[in-house]
Copies of this chain bind each other. A is one copy, B any other.
Amino acid sequence: MQRRRLLQTLSRTQCPLRQPRQPQALELPTAAAPIQRLTIARFSSRNDGNSSNPQMAFPCLDKVENRTREIQSRRSNQGPEPSYTTGAHENFNATTPLLLDYGGVLREFTVAYETWGKLNDTKSNAILLHTGLSASSHAHSTPANPRPGWWEKFIGPGLPLDTDKFFVICTNVLGGCYGSTGPSSIDPANGERYATRFPILTINDMVRAQFHLLDNLGIEKLYASVGSSMGGMQSLAVGVIFPDRVQKIVSISGCARSHPYSIAMRHTQRQVLMADSNWNRGFYYDSVPPHLGMKLAREIATVTYRSGPEWEQRFGRQRADPSKPPALCPDFLIETYLDHAGEKFCLEYDPNSLLYVSKAMDLFDLGRENQEHINLLRISNAPKLENVTGETSTEPACSLTLPACPYEEQPSSLEENDLRQAEAQEDLLAGRRGPPRDLVEGLRNIWHPTLVMGVTSDILFPSWQQREVADALRAAGNQRVEYREFGEDVSLFGHDTFLLDLKHIGGGVREFLAEE
């Protein structure tokens, strides 16, 4: 029933904004801006008159090639593309340098932000809302930017983030591209875009930048730190780094450290993006951006945002056009869904920001050992802050040398195999006995009332990670931890549940914030 409705919608809709774009071959470049060489050569059709079967068509590749030509043509006529933006916002420009966890230095930096509600006289009602990977500060519409925000239904009078009571602040993260300093920003040292000369940054670096903004706003202590997904990481990081500057913590579909499966999924996205020759090792700001790599990366990401059971219900095995023969380009409805998700995103977000922010998520680890390691690094790098206007350090760049021998699975004998499985099983059972000691130690600073929420159908931040956070907090002695997990009977929307489920996610937030 639902699927049929969907198909009817598909064929009915005229989608005036998304007509397939035509190549503008007839628009000649001006002399000042010569057309660059296309990265994907136009394929000339073959004479297949004498083959057993006809040659396939590849409309999905035509589309990508057309977009490249269109961007080229636009650049020739109108100059470089505008910067990435989601609309009007406030800027906090810090002129003091910022030392990053891994030794990078930003001589100055900007944090883009938006606010809703009113800061009270005691400045005690502020809530800092953290975003997911690619979101902007535009969590809710504002007079200056009436477009709906990414948490539009969760913020407002009487809503989970109640603007009658709270002053809600949302920032674009450091490293992002929607107003805050990131790889697409100009390096004051040389007047050029940072590109991949932007330093590696961490979730904690993003949080430190946010607290410079809070200082500027005169907010000594937050009423709450709230975030989902990557924002859920930041929310916990606030409690660890600035325990005295926050009262309550909410972490939704986040984690206290990234696990290998989510690192793997982000790895594939980064590698696919970096494989686009238009990426050009990060230096694409003067030419065609790697829109194909971005499209493919977003398609992979989209697979991790929802759940198999939801797609089973929504798309099943419906093909986009069952009257046509199967194709290697998008064919099943699920494929056109992914394709469209990629198309929609591929020019909306800065590719280098995707790489750096995604990497920051991989590096996130609130375990004690990592915290101590980073603290030592920060101490050893602190002198850099005193010499920020001098020459660039000549230390080697981030040039990890891979082991001479790549990882190779060892063929194991039957006995080894059995032993390995027995060990594995034991480890697993041991792991279930309690949260890792290193994490318990690492989270000791979080003594605050804390709400942790997870969704069973989430494959990117599986619910065991949220349980791990709650268990570790409790094991560290925090007696005010509230844990809520929403099963498949409540939501099949996987990781995206935090964007969609006002009733359960929103309800949980509202109740927790209202508690005395």
Contact = CB atoms under 8 A, between A and B. Distances in A.
Contacts of A216: none
A259 B417 CA distance: 31
A301 to B, nearest CB: 10
A326 B270 CA distance: 14
Interface residues of A, number: 152
Interface string A212-243: 00000000000000000000000000000000
Contacts of A500: 417
Given A11-B403, A56-B197, A259 B312 contact: yes
Contact of A340 (B2, B58, B148, B407): B407
A143 interface: no
How many copies the complex holds: the figure is 2
A53 B418 contact: no
Contacts of A265: 303
B324 A58 contact: no
Contacts of A330: 267, 400, 402
A276 B272 CA distance: 10
Interface in A227-277: 257-261, 263-265, 267-268, 270-272, 274-277
Given A398-B56, A492-B428, A404 B296 contact: no
Given A313-B427, A417-B500, 14 more contacts: A10-B403, A43-B281, A49-B391, A53-B197, A53-B198, A57-B400, A148-B411, A260-B312, A264-B303, A267-B334, A267-B338, A272-B275, A275-B276, A339-B407
Interface stretch (A27-35, A161-169, A172-180, A187-195): A187-195
A467 to B, nearest CB: 14
18 contacts: A2-B423, A11-B403, A18-B408, A51-B189, A54-B392, A54-B396, A55-B196, A59-B399, A61-B281, A263-B317, A267-B332, A271-B296, A275-B275, A324-B398, A325-B398, A330-B400, A417-B501, A418-B503
B200 A105 contact: no
A122 interface: no
Contact of A309 (B200, B312, B411, B428): B428
A9 interface: yes
A379 interface: no
Interface in A342-377: 343, 355, 359, 362-363, 365
A207 interface: no
B401 A51 contact: no
B257 A271 contact: no
Given A296-B268, A313-B428, A502-B414, A194 B52 contact: yes
B327 A400 contact: yes
Nearest to A152: B411
A441 interface: no
Interface in A377-410: 388, 391-393, 395-408, 410
B395 A107 contact: no
A105 B281 CA distance: 45
A488 interface: yes
Contact of A397 (B56, B198, B312, B405): B56
A52 B336 contact: no
B260 A400 contact: no
A321 interface: yes
